[in-house]
Amino acid sequence: MSNFSIHFAQNRMVMGDYGFFPQVQYSIWINIKLVLMADPLLILERIAVVTGANKGIGLEICRQLASNGVMVVLTARDEKKGIEAVQKSLMADDGLSDNLMFHQLDVLDPSSIVSLADFLRTQFGKLDILVNNAAIIGLEVDTDAFVPSAKHMPEEYINWKEVSMQTYELAEECLQTNYYGAKRTIEAFVPLLQLSDSGRIVNVSSLSGKLKFVGNKWAQTILGDADSLTEERVDEVLNEFLKDFKADLLEVIGWPSFLSAYTLSKAALNAYTRILAKKYPKVMINSVCPGYVKTDINCHRGTLSVEEGAESPVWLALLPEGEPSGVFFSQKNVSPF
């Protein structure tokens, strides 16, 4: 039987290796036995939270951090999927059993974020690493049309516009998840990161978020002006984008016509990275494109494995003191915004 650790924050019936446990008033781990308190020694370890981590790059980031001796809190919106991800990881590598646990987190739900922050404060008293990985593509892909045409077709010949659709509702959800979800999470966790001797925030971004792909010259100027960047200015850009999207004016105004919301969400996340680095100089804060990785978001058409894709976010999370902050990396190379 695998030795695994899963955290449940809710007071309700839960199931472990030995069946159902009755309601309790404590956060618990199932680690072969019922434990009502975290091991005090965990306080001395580095503690990491990875969002959107039940699959793909996020899950592999958790595995690699745990393999480096970091206590990792794997989070996911769907509790069942998150628990299954932990169980499968530990069955594949029982050596991670002391360094991997699950906590539910929905970055769209402020109360869910607060719940996790309270848990971290109570159990560990700090946070060392936050990896903002939760993201959606903001498209509806017609898989019935995509899969047959793409099965034997090189990437450069796939017409993604023909097999996908953008809607205003999807654009809103994309911005709320990829940018505002990360922002809400950071705001809640910064006080805990400031208690660490080596606080790190890694924002998983994309080359799509580079300013040259934003298209709109006004937006490029605002997001590219590091000296006058503010959160309010980023909001202004996103609000204007949504207004033009709703009015069906994206191409007329110069916004990207494909992956529009995804591009803007990642450009905003990159801009926010620069703002945060100035605001919190004691915390090392960077954004990174992990490369074109085979994930659900691109229907597994990427060129890199998830193991390769996780390398650069993990590398940034474990960087020693004195390394750059407020920088965009393309994998492990500094790249212009």
- Residues 98-113 have pLDDT tens digits of 899 999 999 999 999 9
The string of pLDDT tens digits covering residues 127-138 is: 999 999 999 999
Query: Three-state SS string across the chain, please?
Result: CCCCCCEECCCCCEEECCEEECCCCCCEEEECEEECCCCHHHHHCCEEEECCCCCHHHHHHHHHHHHCCCEEEEEECCHHHHHHHHHHHHHHCHHHCCCEEEEECCCCCHHHHHHHHHHHHHHCCCCCEEEECCCCCCCEECHHHHHHHHCCCCHHHCCHHHHEECCHHHHHHHHHHHHHHHHHHHHHHHHHHCCCCCCEEEEECCHHHCHHHCCCHHHHHHHHCCCCCCHHHHHHHHHHHHHHHHCCCHHHHCCCCCCHHHHHHHHHHHHHHHHHHHHCCCCEEEEEECCCECCHHHCCCCCECHHHHHHHHHHHHCCCCCCCCCCEEECCEEECC
- Which is more confidently placed, 146 or 252? 252
Q: Reply yes or no on whether the pLDDT at 4 is more than 60.
A: no
Is 262 catalytic? The answer is: yes
Q: Is the pLDDT of residue 180 over 90?
A: yes
Annotated catalytic residue, options 179, 180, 262, 272: 262
What's residue 25's pLDDT?
31
Among 82-96, 140-154, 180-194, 282-296, which stretch is predicted with the lowest mean pLDDT? Answer: 140-154
- pTM for the model stands at 0.84
pLDDT digits (tens, 9 = 90+) for 208-247: 999 999 999 999 999 999 999 999 999 999 999 999 999 9
